[in-house]
Homo-oligomer: A and B are copies of this chain.
Amino acid sequence: MTQAGESDWLDAVKWDADGLVPAIAQDHQTGRILMMAWMNREALALTAAEGRAIYWSRSRGKLWRKGESSGHVQNLHEMRLDCDADVIVLQVEQLGGIACHTGRESCFYRSYKDGGWHTVDAVLKDPSEIY
């Protein structure tokens, strides 16, 4: 197999103008949506190769091996691509049970009600103990 053939699946992804694609991480057992981050081509290739979620940090402008400082690694169970080939879903096992930098299971801890966003999920671990 040629090198080109091996990267066909990466070419199939419709990268945006910045060379990125959104990646949604979902708990593979509970179905809880944990977070959404971004991947560039290298991050996606490494995620598949290493079997763990590796993102591209837009704020830091570098690869973000999820869990590298917190230990909250996301082990990959399945990876899917959508019909437009511009969004990825990762089924993951969230080590430590915490995906969010606020110390919560999920980054989606604010719920809309009566014209406002309300925090409805508990902090499981003090963020200062994570980082």
The chain A residues found within 8 Å of chain B, CB to CB, are 6, 8-9, 12, 22, 24, 26, 30-33, 35-36, 48, 78-84, 87, 89, 100-102, 104, 107-112, 115-117
Contacts and interface: CB of A to CB of B under 8 A. Distances in A.
A82 B111 contact: no
A111 B79 contact: yes
Contact of A81 (B102, B115, B117): B117
Contacts of A115: 6, 8-9
Please classify the interface of chain A as helix (H, G, I), strand (E, B), loop, or mixed, using the class held by over half of its residues: mixed
A66 B33 CA distance: 21
Nearest to A30: B31
Given A24-B33, A30-B31, A116-B9, A107 B83 contact: yes
